[in-house]
Amino acid sequence: MHLLNADLHSHSNVSDGTLAPEAVAERARAGGVELWALTDHDELGGQRRARDAALALGMHWLSGVEISVSFAGETVHIVGLGFDIDDPALEAGLAATRGGRRERALQMAEGLAQVGIRGAFEGALRYVGNPELISRTHFARFLVETGVCPDTHTVFKRYLTPGNPGYVPHRWARLSDALAWIHGAGGVAVIAHPGRYRFTPTEEYALLTDFVGHGGRAIEVMTGSHNDAERIKYADTALEFGLLASRGSDFHDPDESRTGLGTLPDLPGKLQPVWEALGDRIVRPG
Ligand code: AMP
Ligand code: MN
Ligand code: MN
Ligand code: MN
């Protein structure tokens, strides 16, 4: 089998990336990507531009989205691939999921003001490309700009994660709803960066069994978020649960992202790539 260079997880300034969809496409092409998906958080606004740019550059393209889900007290990200970008129920579900981000951001700014960091809401807004999609990442960029922290990773550690002053808990979509929206639109659901969640083994097992129970079919094995041990662990998980495997950099920005588009190792040969189940959903150039 030809080992396709697929990158099925990336962000533009339609959510919390810094580049326009066309510029992300160009970086994907430059990284050797042959099959690309833009997976902005809770938002489809960049999909047409991504498709047109991908095809103009000679790449194959899949529609994509990364849905924020609350599960067992943790935020879990579910990537949808190969769905109809005009599906009204998916769009309505995503709109409901994004709603409340502005309120949350105002509360985050209040928390930061209490520790002496003023103007964070207005500051974060200056980094926002899409007013409906203000995220913790935009706050992180503002706190780096103002010299509060040296880099965004430190901002998350000190200010934007549970137990810290800028953290505000939020109720995202239900797992069953997110999967129903993706499946209703003809797509395949993928558990994003499973190694990132702070789950006990029991909670992780519950996520996997619920995901499979609701028709979820794939899991990210090669992601910018996994170290070598996690790549091995989740390759085994894919086999154990009969899941297809996905590969994606989770690119956000040339300086912030450790993993460039198209640069991850290939999926282990024993796994079935998710794109093999998406043949008829892949849009081909020319
Ligand atoms: P939100 O959807 O507003 O909760 O923001 C989540 C986003 O923050 C993720 O999609 C990542 O882009 C980013 N993020 C989460 N944790 C970290 C971290 N430790 N360092 C840098 N960025 C992070
Ligand atoms: Mn993000
Ligand atoms: Mn994510
Ligand atoms: Mn992501």
Q: From the CB of residue 149, how many other CB atoms can be counted at a distance below 10 Å?
A: 16
Alpha carbon of 210 to ligand 2 centroid (Å): 24
* Residues whose beta carbons lie less than 5 angstroms from ion ligand 2: 16
Task: Fill in the amino acid letter for 270.
Answer: K
The DSSP call for residue 37 is -
Q: Whose CA is nearest to atom 12 of ligand 1?
A: 137
pLDDT of residue 3: 79
Name residue, tokens 């985050």.
108
Q: Give the global pTM.
A: 0.98
At 141-198, the pLDDT tens digits run: 999 999 999 999 999 999 999 999 999 999 999 999 999 999 999 999 999 999 999 9
At 101-150, the pLDDT tens digits run: 999 999 999 999 999 999 999 999 999 999 999 999 999 999 999 999 99
* Ligand 1 pocket, Cβ-based, cut-off 6 angstroms: 16, 41, 68, 135-137, 152-153, 156, 252
pLDDT of residue 90: 98
What's the rounded mean pLDDT across residues 58-81? 98
pLDDT(2) > 70? no
pLDDT of residue 286: 83
The DSSP call for residue 172 is -
Q: What is d(CA 148, CA 166) in angstroms, rounded to the nearest whole number?
A: 13
- The residues that bridge with 219 in the sheet, in sequence order, are 191, 245
Q: Whose CA is nearest to atom 8 of ligand 1?
A: 137
pLDDT(1) > 80? no
Q: Whose CA is nearest to atom 14 of ligand 1?
A: 137
Three-state DSSP at 70 gives strand
